[in-house]
Amino acid sequence: MNLYFFFRSAIRAATGGGRSYHLWMGSLTILMLIGGYGYSVQMREGLIVTGMSDHVSWGLYISNFTFLVGLAAAAVMLVLPAYVLRDVDFSKAVLIGEGVAVAALLMCLSFVVVDMGGPMRAWHLIPKLGYFNWPQSLLAWDVVVLNGSLALNLLIPFYILYCHYNGRHPKERYYVPFVYLSVLWAVSIHMVTAFLLAGLPARPFWNTSLMGPRFLASAFAAGPAFMILTFSYIRSHTRYEIPEHALSKLAMIATVAAQINLIMLGSEIFKEFYYPTHHSRSAFYLFFGLHGHNGLVPWIWTSISMNLVATAILSLHPLRRNANYLRFSCILLVVAIWMEKGIGLIVPGFIPSPLGEIVEYFPSWIELVVTVGIWAMGLFVFTVLVRVALAIELGDERSPTAPEGVVGH
Digit-coded pLDDT (tens) for 28-37: 999 999 999 9
215-249 residues labelled b (16+ CB within 10 A) or e (exposed): bbbbbbbbbbbbbbbbbbebbeeeebebbeebbeb
Residue 326, Cβ density class (10 Å: 0-12 exposed, 13-18 middle, ≥19 buried): buried
Cα separation, 403 vs 399, whole angstroms: 9
Measure the CA–CA gap between 10 and 391, rounded to whole angstroms. Answer: 8
| Residues in Cβ contact with 44 at an 8 Å cutoff, skipping those fewer than 6 apart | none
Average pLDDT over every residue of 14-27:
90
194 closest CA partner among 349, 370, 304: 349
Tens of pLDDT along 237-272?
A: 888 888 888 888 889 999 999 999 999 999 999 988
- pLDDT at position 406 over 60: no
Homologous superfamily of the 22-393 domain (CATH): Formate dehydrogenase/DMSO reductase domain (1.20.1630.10)
Looking at the DSSP bridge assignments, the partners of residue 290 are 293
Q: Which residue in 268, 260, 258, 183 sits closest to 222, CA to CA? A: 258
For 223-232, write each residue's pLDDT tens digit: 899 999 999 9
The band of 335, judged by pLDDT with boundaries at 50, 70 and 90, is very high
pLDDT band at residue 404 using 50, 70 and 90 as cut-offs = low
User: What pLDDT does residue 284 have?
Assistant: 92
CA–CA distances in Å: residue 192 to residues 143, 210, 211, 216: 10, 13, 11, 11
What was the pLDDT predicted at 133?
67
Least confident of 44-58, 59-73, 80-94: 80-94
Separation of CA 349 from chain center: 21
Q: Which of 89-93, 287-291, 379-383 has the highest mean pLDDT?
A: 379-383
The answer to whether the Cα torsion of 108, 109, 112, 117 is positive or negative is negative
At residue 209, does pLDDT exceed 70?
yes
Domains in the chain: boundaries: 22-393
**What rounded mean pLDDT belongs to the chain?**
86
Confidence band, pLDDT 50/70/90 cuts, at residue 126: low
Measured CA to CA, the distance from residue 197 to residue 346 in angstroms comes to 9
- The predicted pLDDT at position 36 comes to 95
Report d(CA 94, CA 91) in Å as an integer: 6
Band the pLDDT of 334: cuts 50, 70, 90. Answer: very high
